[in-house]
Amino acid sequence: MASLEPGELDSLVRKVSLRVDAPSLDDTTSDWERLQRTLRAHFPGRLFHIGLGALRELGPALRQGDWQVTVTLAEGEGALSVIRVEAGDTTDRAFGLAVDVGTTTVSVELLDLNRGVGLGSCLEYNGQIPHGTDVTSRLLHAEKRKEGLAQLREAVLKTFNEMIADLAAEHGVRPDEIVALVVAGNTIMAHLFLGVDPTSIRREPYVPGTTAFPILTAREVGLAIHEAATVYLLPAVSGYVGGDITAGLLATGIADQEPLSILIDIGTNGETVLGNREWLVACSGSAGSAFEGCGLEWGMNATAGAIERVWVEDCHIGYQTIGGDKPSGICGSGLIDALGSFLLGGIIDRSARIQLGAPGVRQGQSYPEVVLASAAETAVGQDIVLTQANIENLLRDKAALYAGARILLSNVGLEFDLVERVLIAGSFGQSLDVERAVLIGLLPDIPRQRIRFIGNSSLAGARRALLSRRAWRRAGEIASSITCMELTAEPRYFDEYTGALFLPHTNGDLFPTVKARLEGGVGP
């Protein structure tokens, strides 16, 4: 993904050490006017605004610091906002957060704004999940329950604040030293984070409250960092194509480059963008959250103990976990591996039905299930299994993702073989076995060197926007340039989706190398 160019580090929020002229009987200019005069010398042509908290700090800081102060400046709407004033020179301590707020998971990275480096990150399930595992159920919760919207907002804020507190403590940072936050998320999650009613997105014509969000303070939002810390939300495109996609395009550089590319974000909404620097079209299909481990009994985040690799060899199911720990569950990359390995190993057929008598298969309470790890091997003291229902959920999710990409290409008169880059984004694992993903029909059967897993591009885009004012401005330009395609209004979508409910697809000619492999009986 695109990194900051040399000299591009120019954070949305920065600290500046200033020597302010002391007053005298000949110069009784107010403290604020005096500070503005100094600021204008450093930032010619800019306008300045000061918050009430900073105004209260200003006089004491100037006198305590003998007129040497450190001012924290935030890029605002048409002006630089003074959000903090400290005595002396404290420019070495300035921190910010990049956040990806997803339907299933929340990712937070703590950044040193002076050096442009990440200090650490963490990933947790979104606290809204008890109120619904997908956006539709959360929209219904917000609409049907009197306190539904407030409950959803409080749940995700609790997730945010707990993660921030843990990260700050781990890296020796006081929460009040965190002065900026950039959030990338789908449109519905952005609305719920701010407590803005998103329920109109659920009904045709799927109109959100806003796609361009105001610049806010941590106090307004309810975040436990410096109360005047500036909160920026990356702009969305439509009700179902959000700021996470804007962030992904910013991080990958697709919108600034010539090669025809597809960005597929494997998450609950399953957004897909096609194009290059000349044009961009996008769609969103409700893929579900199975590949992020949500809704599966043994699904989990891509953290230590998650099964991330699965294979079938000599009538035995093998696995590898993140960190080499005893298994506690299985993450998204492991689920993709499992489906592909089960298909090659004869554990499931091409309609994804589990085959009794195959390695690792036993009869569950109602349907067959596959034992990935026995209780004696696991960290949880129970068998870790994939049930028939789990596998069917995965099949539906992969069908929605593939069908959305096919429709997008078809509507602009293209096929997958003309796409020069397929970039796969998501926080479902540390890596992705591309061969397995093609084998199950999640990704197209094109030369493998064109396909690349890029990890959490939403978080990467939020990081880039926080560290570069130019990147922040570019994000707005990108969002306004995207044309959205509504899959629910596309008559061919259901046929494409139904065709993809097979491994790899009902039309084997779309996957020639997989077809040859399966018909030739080539093993794993």
- Tell me the DSSP string of 76-106: -SSSEEEEEEEES--TT--EEEEEEE-SSEE
Question: What is the per-residue DSSP string for 373-413?
Answer: E-GGGSSSSS-EEEEHHHHHHHHHHHHHHHHHHHHHHHHTT
Which pLDDT score is estimated for 524? Answer: 47
Between CA 101 and CA 156 the distance in angstroms is 9
Q: Which pTM was predicted? A: 0.93
Sketch the domain layout of the chain as residue ranges: 13-87, 95-233, 258-288+395-434+442-513, 290-393
Which pLDDT score is estimated for 6? Answer: 55
CA-wise closest residue to 255 among 271, 282, 278: 278
Joined tokens for residue 438? 């093609």
Rounded to whole angstroms, what are the CA distances from 490 to 272, 405, 487? 15, 13, 5
Between CA 166 and CA 123 the distance in angstroms is 11
Between CA 64 and CA 341 the distance in angstroms is 67
Which pLDDT score is estimated for 140? Answer: 96
The dihedrals phi and psi of 180, each to the nearest 5 degrees, come to -155, 150
Between CA 193 and CA 152 the distance in angstroms is 8
Helix or strand or coil: residue 292?
helix
What is the block-wise mean pLDDT of the chain (524 residues), using blocks of 10 residues? Answer: 67 96 95 97 96 97 98 95 97 97 94 96 94 92 95 98 98 97 97 97 94 97 98 97 97 97 88 96 80 84 92 94 95 93 96 96 93 97 96 93 94 95 83 91 96 94 97 98 90 94 96 91 51
Between CA 55 and CA 483 the distance in angstroms is 44
Q: Are strands 178-185 and 117-125 parallel, antiparallel or unpaired?
A: unpaired
Joined tokens for residue 127? 């606290």
Which pLDDT score is estimated for 4? Answer: 62
Half-sphere CA count of 301, side-chain side, radius 13 A: 12
Between CA 512 and CA 518 the distance in angstroms is 10
Residue 432 makes CB contacts below 8 A (sequence gap 6+) with: 333, 336, 424, 453
Question: What is the per-residue DSSP string for 39-56?
Answer: HHHHSTT--EEE-HHHHH
Between CA 193 and CA 177 the distance in angstroms is 22
CATH 3.10.20.880, domain 13-87, yes or no: yes
CA-wise closest residue to 385 among 335, 351, 426: 335
Tokens 């057929």 -> residue: 349
Fold match between 95-233 and 258-288+395-434+442-513?
yes
Between CA 195 and CA 202 the distance in angstroms is 16
Given the candidates 3.40.1160.10, 3.30.1370.10, 3.40.50.150, 3.30.420.480, the CATH classification of the domain at 95-233 is: 3.30.420.480
Between CA 234 and CA 362 the distance in angstroms is 48
Q: Are strands 316-321 and 306-313 parallel, antiparallel or unpaired?
A: antiparallel
CATH architecture of 258-288+395-434+442-513: 2-Layer Sandwich (3.30)
